[in-house]
Amino acid sequence: MENKIDTKTVLNYSEGKYSWNDYLKVKEWFGNSRDCMKIEGALFEQWKAELGAEHPEHESFHHLFEKVHYQILLDEKRNAKKRNLRVMYRQVAAFLLIPVLAFSALTYFFYNQSQPFAESWAKIDAPLGSRVEFKLPDGSTGWLNSGSTLKYPLIFGSQKKVELTGEGYFDIRHQENSKFTISVPDMDIHVLGTKFNVSAYPDDEFTEVVLEEGKVEVSGKTAIFNSTLFPDKKITYNRTTNSLQKKEVETSLYSGWKEGFLILDNEPIGLAVGKLERWYNAEITIQDEELKKFRFKATFRDEPLEEVIHLLALTTPITYTIEKRDTDKTGVFVRKKVLIRLRK
């Protein structure tokens, strides 16, 4: 390669500590080089030197390598926004499509200078109205549903722990003598290798875990409980009643969202509205208390909000108004507003 790569500059760039000149250098190294294998090899040697004998498997390094590529993508988008206001709106639209294809477009990396790089954490956000696919440093994969956040260490040790707010589907890679924990506000979920769905939105009154394959153990935080879950079972913790319930379920009803299915399984209107608000990034108001006794059972895939509301109105005595979207004082569109009331 004509220009020698400064691995320290690349590492600093991946941690968000860089100048404009650093950005231009990294962009040239990664964008114009004809031999990416040499880049990756040089960085891997630096990676091993930084972490010593305790460095993880190559997949953790590969995670860092991908992170640099995506950071360049983000910087290019930010720079384009500054150049042209009209281009900015097109970039935002494209940006919101990226989460379904690649998680790193919405990944943020945290670095504390008083700590070694091995203790740095990352955060993935799934904005309202989107779904995000991700891959963790140990090779485990999954999805984040709309309005969810996942935090995880950039380097996993033998005890792996991630923190989830919202809803996520996990396909945890099995590794001998390695325990994996997903932590949500109400409980910890311990796994060895399995597939399962977790829903723990702060605004919902419950946290639920649905197991597809393998076995998980859940232990309470706000309440004292321990329980083992087997395939085709769901465990629900109700924050209001401080109660725990376990039952057999059809797991596809709970994980279909990652395939684009919006499933309402005989749900009260309050819970259904919460799902719709997150799924479509909308603000929905129920104007009649009497409506809260109604339940919805329906499945949609890639339907616009207007069509979903219309179809629900055909099966229940509701009428609705969808307000025209306005822009705020900065020119950004506000959330779509829907008013639902009892049909007289």
Q: How many CB atoms lie within 10 A of CB 196?
A: 28
The CATH number linked to 145 is: 2.60.120.1440
Structure confidence at residue 85 (pLDDT): 38
Q: Are strands 195-200 and 159-171 parallel, antiparallel or unpaired?
A: antiparallel
- pLDDT tens readout for residues 1-32: 445 667 677 767 766 667 777 777 777 776 65
Judge if 221 and 118 occupy the same domain.
yes
Judge if 107 and 93 occupy the same domain.
no
Structure confidence at residue 40 (pLDDT): 62
Domain end: 219, 234, 253, which one? 253
**Residue predicted with more confidence, 198 or 302:** 198
Number of domains in the chain: 3
Range list of β-strands (E), the chain: 107-110, 121-126, 132-135, 141-144, 148-153, 159-171, 179-183, 187-191, 195-200, 206-213, 216-220, 226-229, 233-238, 243-248, 261-268, 282-286, 295-301, 318-322, 336-342
Please give the model's pTM, rounded to 2 decimal places. 0.68
Rounded to an integer, what distance in angstroms lies between the CA atom of residue 323 and that of residue 335? 10
Judge if 59 and 192 occupy the same domain.
no
% of the chain surpassing 90 pLDDT: 40
- pLDDT tens readout for residues 135-184: 898 889 999 999 999 999 888 877 789 999 999 999 998 877 778 999 99
**Residue predicted with more confidence, 247 or 50:** 247
Structure confidence at residue 213 (pLDDT): 95
Structure confidence at residue 223 (pLDDT): 80
Judge if 146 and 231 occupy the same domain.
yes
Return phi, psi of residue 2, to 5°: -70, -45
Domain end: 99, 126, 148, which one? 99
Domain end: 236, 253, 270, which one? 253
Give the gyration radius of the chain's Cα atoms.
23
Judge if 149 and 179 occupy the same domain.
yes
For residue 293, give its domain range. 260-342
